[in-house]
Structure 1
Amino acid sequence: MRTVLAREMGGCSVLGRIWGVWRRRPGVRAVPKAPGFGTEAGHRLRSRGSSKRSRPLGGQPFPELLQLENLSREELVDVLRAAVVDQKGKPGELTLFSVLPELSQSLGLGDQELQVVQASGKETSGLVLLSSCPQTASRLQKFFIHSRRAQRPTATYCAVTDGIPATSEGKIQAALKLEHVDGVDLVIPVKSPSRKDFQEGVKRTLSHFRVVAMGSGCALVQLQPLTVFPSQLQVHMVLQLCPVLGDHTYSAHVGTVLGQRFLLPAESTKPQRQVPDEALLRRLCLTPSQAAQLPLHLHLHCLHLPGMRPGEAPMKLLAPLPSYFSRTLQCLGLHQQ
């Protein structure tokens, strides 16, 4: 296993960058290259902020998050040199796909077209893999498919959860379906699915989780999806009664009575802003209005890839944590053991 920069692999210009998109208003977060990116040092989760406890934040609690309405196409292409945004979008919407031709030209690739090889959900920060080489892209996509069939994880996410899983590690299995509810596409768990359910779009999903650190009623969790489904990791953590911090869609499915958590019916529970309790707000040094803007704390930290040439060792691509994620770890006292 060798750890490499995501920018060049085998001369095929496979690109990997940190990315992030704001939920209500599509945006792009510019993240400078960090010293640990693409190195073994970057593999260690660490807080990069001050050693002192963070002070309350001002009017803009997450300054790295930019809004697309404030960017021109040229500025977005410049930002994409260091950050990649949502892989899908509505017609006419300013997204990664809509500016891939300009990005290709900006990177000096000439007539070579860039395509997305691997990406996570649009609210998730971390790595996105682009390729200008069709053969490399096809080979990598086949690698990911074969790995899933063999239940070999290729991606590792970091998450901060509101709540602590009952066990330190394990597997989460659930049958999920995608439903359009009140104008919103939502992922719904299905109990005891029938053969007809699977014929109508229900999918079996599987993820592995491991608790890395605990503190202040929260946990730092490593997640490895072994299947692919929209919002899979968020829903899986809700099923553990530990929603991801900043999950303003599915965290509403977890209710609390007399300090005990329970699942609410997903079909009848509308998405709403996550509301951390007062103790957690104090630890995070956030006001309720700032907490309503809390980004999803789910980060694609590591991708495992095969060697690009016969006989080459496998590779590992790494993305350091965003500064807001590191700040949260510092505030909550969550550190890798």
Structure 2
Amino acid sequence: MAACGRLGLLLCGAGPRPFSASQALGAAATAEQLAQKLRAQQREESRGKAPKSPLSRRVRQLDRFSKQLQRVHPNVLAKALKNGILYQNEKIVVINKPYGIPVHGGPGVRNCITDVLPILAKMLDGMKAEPLHLCHRLDKETTGVMVVARNSDIAYEIQHLFKTRQVEKNYRAIVVGVPVPSEGLVDIPIVEKEVQSHQSHYKMTLAPNYHLSSEEGKLVKVRKDRAAQSAVTRYRVLASSASCSLLELQPITGVKHQLRVHLAYGLGCPVLGDHKYSHWSKLAPQKLPEDALRRLGLEQAKARHLPLHLHAHGLALPLGTGGDKQIDLVCKLPVFFKISLERLKLKVPEFQEKKTTTGQNPSSSRAKGLRLELPSDRIVKFVAVGLPLFLVSLAFAQEFSTGSKISCFSPTNFTGKQSAYVDTSCWDSLTHLEFDAAGNAIAKSLWTLKAFPYSLLVIAVVMYLPYLLWRYAAAPALNCDMLFIIDELDKSYNRSIRLVQHMVKVREASPEPGLFWEEFERARKERYFEFPLLERYLACKQHSHHLVCTYLLRNLLLLLLLTAACLYLGFLHVTGVFQDEFSCSIKTGLLQDEPQIPDLIPCKLVFFSVFQIISILTGGVYILLMPVVIYNVLQLCQWDKRLLSIYEMLPAFDLLSRKMLTCPINDLNIILLFLRANISEVKSFSRLSAVCTLRETTSNKQHIDTVVDFMTLLAGLEISKPKYQACTGEADGDAPLTQNKVLEMKSTLEAKGNAGPKALAALPDGRS
């Protein structure tokens, strides 16, 4: 009661009157209403704090998720990294670094990449696996491609590649503002300095070697800071709007926070969400333009939750000795990055998400473009398979459009339903009845007409069997052979060009012309720059018969099937199956004893003429295809020397001159036929053809045997050593020539005499 009295005093005020029971009940109800009102007010305030914009909610979720990753068990973080692996082999593992996870530990850091690498290694290779090793670093807020090595030696090698700038790095960034010009190079050193403000901190800043004089307006060189590090960044605008733009960044060097500093202080376009480098003298949330805030659906007070929009998009990592192979790594943009692009109306370019490869990009593109069927074989396939399918589809379309397949002449006393019954019964039986001289009924089945469209479908399927045989029995081996041969042909051409470049360099560097001629003659005789691997491989293919046997079996099977189809269609015509009129009897079952039903009812096939035209057309086309198939087989009886004659200009290609070709029925002849069909994939063929054409126009074409001779002539050098002249001054009145003048090489192209190796061009892929 004392408590109730105090509650009454609080709610109703002090007074002399006593606190009755009814008043206590009213006070309790008022307190409950007040509590409900307070809870409703709290709910409204919490709802007001929740972001209404989808992007704001996504930003808050990302901020909470990054904080949760800091609190989760390291095994959970390691599993998340495992699920995001982009590529792995026996040397490296490439992960997709998530947002908000630092690479190294520090104050207040619970989870970092280095702490979970041992756990990730055990998840990948077992409990006895060696811990993974870092190869490079990314900022805490940066996402994208990150490489770790399986052992310390490989990590050291990859770190050396990063230090020597052999790794091509590619970033994507959304920046505030639009850089001018839209493409350029930022080459300004960077140094770390302490910033004195209400909160002292360290920042990376620019340390330029020049500054603009305020009096004269000229660049004046300043004293270089000893602690400054050289930093170079290449940038390009991919898309832009009024307030923001999407950039492609390529850091040439690898200084801490290089991209963020160059963009913020060098170009005046800080990265969206970069709250550290948006201000120089203070640590404060980034201030965004009104247009950017409106498009993002944010308030300036909430901009502190905006994540850093910097993504490591790609990495080109050279592998092997000499960097002859390369692994291209590409990581997709994170979700929050894509949402910001859509909100800011930045048209995302068609990023080519290339699959990770190891230096086989030319071969993989060629493998997709190779045609593993000869043009004549492809035409035969399309006609033999497509023609019956096309004709049957037309027949079915006409049948469905008209509806009735048969027309029977029922007696006049039959009703409509009885006439329909006659048509259905006669079509189901499809039997022709006639009487002989003795009065006996003779039945002849016309069921083949009903099954004729489906038999054409079977013919089309059967005609495709030879091509399935070729595709699965010979096409894979042929594809590998052609890829290797095309690659070696282009390499042989490049070696010849590089040999000429070497000769020109020797000529320019040699003080005595005689040394050049010794080098040139030794190169032509010993041919130390040539690799007869291709020549020997082609010679070995003459003793292989797998491809040619499969090709012959395919064409013989196709010829047999064409003959069988023509015989089947001819059999239908000869035996009289194709007849448009027949007599049908419906006196069966319950109608057998009905006297008003005639014994025979004449019927006529509505689609007889259509079936007849289809059969004649199909059989005629198949007969015309037989000579084409026979011609394809007879091609193997002679060598296709057109390709070989062009490549005879290569020094290491002597199949024709040495008469190494034997019986043409072997795999080499098949490969040559398919090389002719894929001549557009052989990049060196067009250049060698041009060289052969130009050789015919030269005055001394009898001295040009190889492409080396022609390119030597094209580079401005004589292709034969000048002969010593024996004439003296007594004979012609002139002084005798000195040895240096005799050995001096004369330029045949005076205008290109100083061009040197630049006048020679190898294939654009640069393979050797």
Q: How many residues align?
A: 262
Preserved CA contact (<8 Å) 2:176 2:244 = yes
Preserved CA contact (<8 Å) 1:220 1:334 = yes
**Superposed CA offset, 1:14-43 (max 9, x none):** xxxxxxxxxxxxxxxxxxxxxxxxxxxxxx
> Paired residue for 2:340?
328
TM-score (norm 2): 0.32
CA distance in 1, matches of 2:102, 2:144: 11
Tell me the CA shift for residue 171 of structure 1. 0.5
Tell me the CA shift for residue 80 of structure 1. 2.4
> Paired residue for 1:211?
237
Question: Is 1:272 the equivalent of 2:288?
Answer: no
Question: Is 1:168 the equivalent of 2:196?
Answer: no
CA distance in 2, matches of 1:276, 1:311: 44
Question: Is 1:75 the equivalent of 2:94?
Answer: no
CA distance in 1, matches of 2:249, 2:300: 28
Question: Is 1:243 the equivalent of 2:305?
Answer: no
- Structure 1 residue matching 2:159: 3-state secondary structure: helix
Matches within 5 A, 1:22-37: none
Preserved CA contact (<8 Å) 1:86 1:95 = yes
CA distance in 1, matches of 2:183, 2:251: 14
Preserved CA contact (<8 Å) 1:329 1:335 = yes
Preserved CA contact (<8 Å) 2:58 2:336 = no
Select which of 127, 130, 135 maps to 1:117. Answer: 135
> Paired residue for 1:44?
none
CA distance in 1, matches of 2:207, 2:137: 26
> Which amino acid is 2:160 matched to?
K
CA distance in 2, matches of 1:329, 1:128: 23
- Structure 1 residue matching 2:282: 3-state secondary structure: coil
CA distance in 1, matches of 2:292, 2:156: 45
Preserved CA contact (<8 Å) 2:233 2:249 = yes
TM-score (norm 1): 0.71
Tell me the CA shift for residue 87 of structure 1. 1.5
Question: Is 1:202 the equivalent of 2:214?
Answer: no
- Where in structure 1 are there 5+ consecutive unaligned residues? 1-53, 253-265
- Structure 2 residue matching 1:111: 3-state secondary structure: coil
**Superposed CA offset, 1:160-200 (max 9, x none):** 010000101111111211124344221122243535x22xx
- Between Structure 1 and Structure 2, which shows a larger proportion of strand residues? 1
Question: Is 1:186 the equivalent of 2:200?
Answer: no
Q: Against the structure 1 CA distance between its residues 328 and 57, is the aligned structure 2 distance closer, same or farther, given a 3 Å change threshold?
A: closer
Matches within 5 A, 1:55-94: 56-57=54-55, 59-64=57-62, 65-67=65-67, 68-81=69-82, 82=84, 83-84=96-97, 85-90=101-106, 93-94=110-111
- Structure 1 residue matching 2:346: 3-state secondary structure: coil
Tell me the CA shift for residue 312 of structure 1. 5.9
> Which amino acid is 1:80 matched to?
L
Preserved CA contact (<8 Å) 2:103 2:140 = yes
- Structure 2 residue matching 1:211: 3-state secondary structure: strand
CA distance in 2, matches of 1:107, 1:285: 42
> Which amino acid is 1:173 matched to?
D
> Paired residue for 1:43?
none
Preserved CA contact (<8 Å) 2:296 2:344 = yes
> Paired residue for 2:146?
128
Tell me the CA shift for residue 59 of structure 1. 4.2
> Which amino acid is 1:203 matched to?
Q
Between stretches 237-246 and 74-83, larger displacement belongs to 74-83
Question: Is 1:302 the equivalent of 2:318?
Answer: no
Preserved CA contact (<8 Å) 2:143 2:312 = yes
- Structure 2 residue matching 1:147: 3-state secondary structure: coil
CA distance in 1, matches of 2:56, 2:235: 34
Tell me the CA shift for residue 122 of structure 1. 2.0
Between stretches 295-304 and 269-278, larger displacement belongs to 269-278
**Superposed CA offset, 1:229-267 (max 9, x none):** 111111101121111100101112xxxxxxxxxxxxx4x
- Structure 2 residue matching 1:286: 3-state secondary structure: coil
- Where in structure 2 are there 5+ consecutive unaligned residues? 1-51, 85-95, 210-221, 350-768
CA distance in 2, matches of 1:165, 1:278: 19
Preserved CA contact (<8 Å) 2:135 2:155 = yes
> Which amino acid is 1:61 matched to?
V
> Which amino acid is 1:187 matched to?
M
Tell me the CA shift for residue 96 of structure 1. 1.3
Tell me the CA shift for residue 61 of structure 1. 2.5
> Paired residue for 1:227?
253
> Which amino acid is 2:152 matched to?
P
Select which of 72, 96, 101 maps to 2:118. Answer: 101
> Which amino acid is 2:259 matched to?
L
* Greater length-normalized contact order (CA 8 Å, ≥ 6 residues apart): 1
Select which of 146, 166, 176 maps to 2:164. Answer: 146
- Identity rate of aligned residues, in percent? 30
> Which amino acid is 2:61 matched to?
P
Preserved CA contact (<8 Å) 1:247 1:274 = yes
- Structure 1 residue matching 2:77: 3-state secondary structure: helix
CA distance in 1, matches of 2:323, 2:168: 19
CA distance in 2, matches of 1:281, 1:221: 20
- Which protein shows a greater Rg? 2
> Which amino acid is 1:94 matched to?
N
**Superposed CA offset, 1:71-104 (max 9, x none):** 1222222222225432222167421112222222
Preserved CA contact (<8 Å) 1:216 1:332 = no
Q: Against the structure 1 CA distance between its residues 144 and 321, is the aligned structure 2 distance closer, same or farther, given a 3 Å change threshold?
A: same
- Between Structure 1 and Structure 2, which shows a larger proportion of helix residues? 2
- Structure 2 residue matching 1:210: 3-state secondary structure: strand
**Superposed CA offset, 1:102-141 (max 9, x none):** 2222222523121111232222111111111333322222
Q: Against the structure 1 CA distance between its residues 309 and 89, is the aligned structure 2 distance closer, same or farther, given a 3 Å change threshold?
A: same
